[in-house]
Structure 1
């Protein structure tokens, strides 16, 4: 592997493990719809409890980070590119579902990763 690529990969993996406060505006599950050739993002609501954990606003149950969760999304965004998806989310006249700048930056990075995977035919797994 190219040493620069390796160094950036190591740094990126390290930074992915840092603590960040969760967005009270909710969270997104990002995936690729290969039949439509689009990047999709499902939005889900949450509230943040006093321990900083995301909880289901209807049940008060902690939303697990891993594993399958049966919840209903509030909205689905889909676009042909990361830029188009960001414009839908952040430049709409509707109030943004994203309330934290670090969350917006994370989503932008993930949308670019999803776009790259979609264009290359590689698998995409959200970070």
Structure 2
């Protein structure tokens, strides 16, 4: 198998897995982005309400929030920054009490996303959160 085919196959696996339903963490969610000027990976933490099916609810209206929602009424509780994925994970999981992440699957997701963000920062490529 060529490198191109391997990369295509791995991307197809990841794209398919991104379509699955996952219950949201009651501890909140993160919007991850890059501050290229400062050379930082940033993670804005937001509190949320979660319904019985694991969907985020707007804290005022109680309506389900879209993953693509950019609601001006939502205010980040904290902005975490780091120069590497590892530095940011140490801040989130080892130095913050209480930890804003309450589910193992959310921690695994954040680790993957922060590594993707770090690679994009190093390579100068675009980063879009999954």
Task: Give the secondary-structure state (helix, strand or coil) at the position aligned to 1:2.
Answer: helix
Q: Moved runs in structure 1, 4+ residues, more than 6 A?
A: none
Partner residue of 2:103?
A: 100
Query: Is 1:83 the equivalent of 2:99?
Result: no
Q: 1:52 to 1:93 in 2, by over 3 A?
A: closer
Q: Which of the residues 73, 77, 87 maps onto 1:74?
A: 77
Partner residue of 1:24?
A: 26
| Separation (CA, whole Å) in 1 of partners of 2:100 and 2:69 | 24
**TM-score, scaled to structure 1:** 0.93
Task: Give the secondary-structure state (helix, strand or coil) at the position aligned to 2:95.
Answer: coil
Query: Is 1:109 the equivalent of 2:107?
Result: no
Task: Give the secondary-structure state (helix, strand or coil) at the position aligned to 2:12.
Answer: helix
Q: Superposition RMSD on alpha carbons, in Å?
A: 1.4
Q: Shift of residue 19 of structure 1?
A: 1.3
| Separation (CA, whole Å) in 2 of partners of 1:84 and 1:72 | 24
| Separation (CA, whole Å) in 2 of partners of 1:36 and 1:123 | 16
| Separation (CA, whole Å) in 2 of partners of 1:58 and 1:75 | 19
Which sits farther off after the overlay, 45-54 or 115-124? Answer: 45-54
User: May I ask how many residue pairs the two structures share in their alignment?
Assistant: 127
Q: 1:66 to 1:93 in 2, by over 3 A?
A: closer
Q: Deviations over 1:86-108 (max 9, x none)?
A: 11111125111111101000000
| Separation (CA, whole Å) in 2 of partners of 1:61 and 1:72 | 17
5+ residue gaps, structure 1, are none
